[in-house]
Amino acid sequence: MKIKNLKKPFVSLLLVLQLGKCSVTEEPPSPRTETPITNWEQNFSPYTISYWAFSEVPPGSFFHGHFPIIPGQTSETVSGQDSYKIETFSATPSDIANYNPKRKDSSFVFFHSIRREKKDLDILLSAYIPFCPSGCYLGVKSEGKEQIVVPGESEDSSKPRIVVIPIQNEEVTLALQLFPFNGPRNMMENPIIGSFSEIQTVYLIKALRVLLFSSLEFFSFFFFAFIYIRRPQDKFNLSFSLLNLSLAIWYPAYEGWFQYLADSPWTWVIFGYSLGAFLPVLFYEFTIGIFQAPRGTAGRILQFLFILLTIWPSLEFALTGGHQFFGKIAFQIFLVILVFFYINTLYIFFRYRRSSILSYPWVVTGLILVAVSSFYTVMSFAGYGSAQPWVNESFLGLTLLFSLALAKRYAEVFRALEKSEGKLKTLNESLETKVEERTKIIELQKAELVQKGRILAKDLSIAGKIQNSLLPRELPIIPNAKISYRYKPMMEIGGDLLDVIYDPSTSSLGMFIGDVTGHGVSAALLASMLKMTLGDWSILLQDPSSLLLHIRNQFEGKLDGHFITATLVTVDLRSGKTLIANAGHPECLILRKDGLVEFYRPKGVAIYEAIPTTYQTESLELKPGDKVVLYTDGIPDSRNTEGEFFGEDRLSDLLKKNSFKTPEDLCDSVIHGVQAFQGEFQHQDDMALLVVEFLG
């Protein structure tokens, strides 16, 4: 028997891509219970067979021996058949899910006759059998008294496929059996009859349609996942990529093409039922991401219920081997939840429309399109309409609109960047001009500063020489005393001052050390004024406290916020009697010959015009070999690299170790010890040190 292809596959391809299914001609439903007949004509082929004579037959009665009850017969007229009351009525395989079988193990059998003219007998008729979750089998009634079924397939299957009609007579009766299943039993579409080449075209177009949409959705998954990796702050790209991935898997499973990978109910249960129930969760995540809406209580509850419906089919099938409760109850629950879900989605659309990240009209149009088509698909799946889904088409529209909105957003960002770059370029040019101008000004100012710096350095050098002239030029040569000092200002000039005076008439040696707060020029000027205030202070050697009070009175109204600390010591070189007065200065140290260090600090505050005070004098006896050590706070306040202070304890230990040395060597040991302690941090403050040894 030869095969004729009298229709153009290209025309069929255009029709399927436009309509989502083959353009067919079919007979109207027969009002009788007899087998419906389709008059097959080549020019109107292929035919979608929607109306069949339906019978529920007991187990073991079909495709094994005699043909079951044919419409118009009774159980008593069938040869070799036990009496069995079978109801026969007109039905559609794709809408039989709501029929309640009398027995769970009975089979659903559909009959339909195909009649054609003799001139078309050389055309090989075939049938496209859509996906049937419960499994199905197609056969043809034979002629003759026995009326057995001639099988058209070697085995039953649930996947969409092509079946060649085994008997090619002028009139053949097709027999389609849906096998027992504890759950919804229906076909996703109605069978299609036509020539072999036409059915091949139908099969190929349906397969390509699924492949096309799944490929586009896989591409969208990788594309938006890549965008999310580059911009992880846009969480909606992750939700949208996962939604594309789920649809790319769900759609082939829903149409039954995954059965070619594993012809098992689990394939349909997991990827058709469970994954389909999980899609609204991802849809909600995408929606709140686009509108920057919070995940409210209603949204959390709806997501939780959808997750329960995701788990339900797999759990029920694992426990019972079917979907009886899911088919009867879950779909209604799912529809109710879906209605509330769409109401909540519409609320988000309205409530957060101003915070939409992307173009509001485009995104909302796409989301509403997907929502309506999804609801239509679920209704069809539950048996309330045609089973042809439009989710992928609408989702493709959403992807297109979302991509356009995303492209518009990035285009606006790029335009803003280009505009900013233009402004930045203009600003840079302006800045370059200003920088050049400022550079010239800075160079001129730098040259001026260098010149002023040289003048200042010269002035400071002169000031330093002047200040050094205020220090004792020549220390008095006294038979019974040795004197030495060190002075190291922080800068060229400083605020420390020391002086030594000897009165031969009374054999009295006076020692003075002072410190003006601050550094630099102001402190140096005050130190110079302090030197001038001392004048010939030998007349007050016997009363050191009066000398400190005299200094305070002279500086009344002249300190301008500064204050002065000072220590004055008078030693009677005949007896060793020593008088000490202090004005807030560090302790006067007495280094005994045996290395013992004594601290003396008579009562008295620093010289400050706002603080009236009196000063006290303390006396002690020096013995031959004892030394008087006076210093400013630059020595004990010196710090090392770890921030530790040198302190009076280290100074006392240093003096003990070097108590045997002369005043000259002792001064060097103290200064070197402090500098070694400071390490890299030299010149932290002015340092002054005065040492006098009493020889007796």
Integer Cα distance of 191 and 48 in angstroms: 6
Q: Which residue has the tokens 């979750």?
A: 133
Integer Cα distance of 423 and 430 in angstroms: 10
Strands 47-48 and 192-195: antiparallel
- 321-373 residue pLDDT tens: 777 777 667 777 877 888 888 888 888 878 887 777 766 676 677 667 666 76
Section 660-668 average pLDDT: 93
Structure tokens at 139: 């056969």
Q: Assess contact for 25 and 395: CB atoms under 8 A.
A: no
The confidence score (pLDDT) of residue 202 equals 93
Section 163-188 average pLDDT: 80
3-class SS of residue 628: strand
Structure tokens at 32: 């009788």
Q: Which residue has the tokens 């932290």?
A: 684
Q: What number of CA atoms fall less than 13 Å from residue 172's CA on the CB side?
A: 26
The mean-pLDDT minimum among 57-71, 464-478, 555-569, 586-600 falls in 57-71
Residue 22, phi then psi, degrees to nearest 5: -70, 145
Q: N- to C-terminal Cα distance for the chain? A: 148
Q: Which residue has the tokens 């008087």?
A: 628
Among 359, 458, 352, residue whose Cα is nearest residue 405: 359
- 491-542 residue pLDDT tens: 767 778 888 988 888 889 999 999 888 776 777 778 888 888 887 777 888 8
Beta carbons within 8 Å of 610's beta carbon, 6+ residues apart:
none
* Planar angle of CA 173, 196, 261, nearest 5 degrees: 95
The confidence score (pLDDT) of residue 533 equals 80
Structure tokens at 590: 């007495």
Integer Cα distance of 303 and 540 in angstroms: 98
Q: Assess contact for 540 and 529: CB atoms under 8 A.
A: no
* Burial readout 202-223 (b: 16 or more C-beta within 10 A, e: otherwise): bbebbeebbeebbebbeebbeb
Neighbours of 351 (CB within 10 A): 12
Is the pLDDT at 8 greater than 50? The verdict is no
* Type of residue found at 494: G
Q: Which residue has the tokens 């097959």?
A: 40
Section 392-419 average pLDDT: 67
Strands 37-39 and 107-115: parallel
Neighbours of 129 (CB within 10 A): 27
What would the DSSP string read from start to end of 264-296?
Answer: SHHHHIIIIIIHHHHHHHHHHHHHHHHHT----
Q: What number of CA atoms fall less than 13 Å from residue 445's CA on the CB side?
A: 6
Q: Assess contact for 162 and 203: CB atoms under 8 A.
A: yes
Integer Cα distance of 70 and 218 in angstroms: 48
What would the DSSP string read from start to end of 380-429?
Answer: HHTTSS-----HHHHHHHHHHHHHHHHHHHHHHHHHHHHHHHHHHHHHHH
- Measured in whole angstroms, the distance separating CA 339 from the mean position of its chain's CA atoms is 33
The confidence score (pLDDT) of residue 120 equals 84
Q: Assess contact for 371 and 349: CB atoms under 8 A.
A: no
The sign of the CA dihedral 227, 228, 230, 234 is positive
The confidence score (pLDDT) of residue 360 equals 65
Looking at the DSSP assignment, which residues form a beta bridge with residue 149?
Answer: 141
Strands lying side by side in the sheet with 47-48: 47-48, 192-195, 125-129, 161-164
Domains, the chain, in order of start with CATH, read 45-57+88-97+104-181 (no CATH), 202-358 (no CATH), 472-694 (3.60.40.10)
Mean pLDDT taken over the chain: 78
The mean-pLDDT minimum among 73-82, 497-506, 593-602 falls in 73-82
Is the pLDDT at 25 greater than 60? The verdict is no
Most confident of 180-184, 488-492, 666-670: 666-670
Residue 335, phi then psi, degrees to nearest 5: -65, -40
Is the pLDDT at 4 greater than 90? The verdict is no
Beta carbons within 8 Å of 108's beta carbon, 6+ residues apart:
54, 55, 56, 96, 99, 101, 177, 178, 185
The residue with greater pLDDT, 615 or 531, is 615
Integer Cα distance of 675 and 696 in angstroms: 33
Is the pLDDT at 587 greater than 90? The verdict is yes
Q: Which residue has the tokens 């249960």?
A: 269
Is the pLDDT at 611 greater than 80? The verdict is no
Question: What 8-state DSSP symbol labels residue 328?
Answer: I
Is the pLDDT at 28 greater than 50? The verdict is no
Length reported for the chain: 696
Strands lying side by side in the sheet with 597-600: 481-488, 687-694, 627-631, 588-591, 597-600
Strands 88-91 and 508-516: unpaired
Section 59-64 average pLDDT: 53
Which band of pLDDT confidence, cut at 50, 70 and 90, is reported for residue 405? low
The confidence score (pLDDT) of residue 301 equals 92
Among 211, 223, 208, residue whose Cα is nearest residue 400: 223
Q: Assess contact for 139 and 63: CB atoms under 8 A.
A: yes
Most confident of 115-124, 352-361, 647-656: 647-656
Determine whether 149 is exposed, middle or buried from the number of CB atoms within 10 Å of its CB (0-12, 13-18, 19+).
buried
Is the pLDDT at 624 greater than 60? The verdict is yes
* Type of residue found at 403: S
- Please report which residue ranges of 174-195 form alpha helices under DSSP H: none
Q: What percent helix, strand, coil does the chain show, rounded to 5?
A: 45, 20, 35
Integer Cα distance of 420 and 426 in angstroms: 10
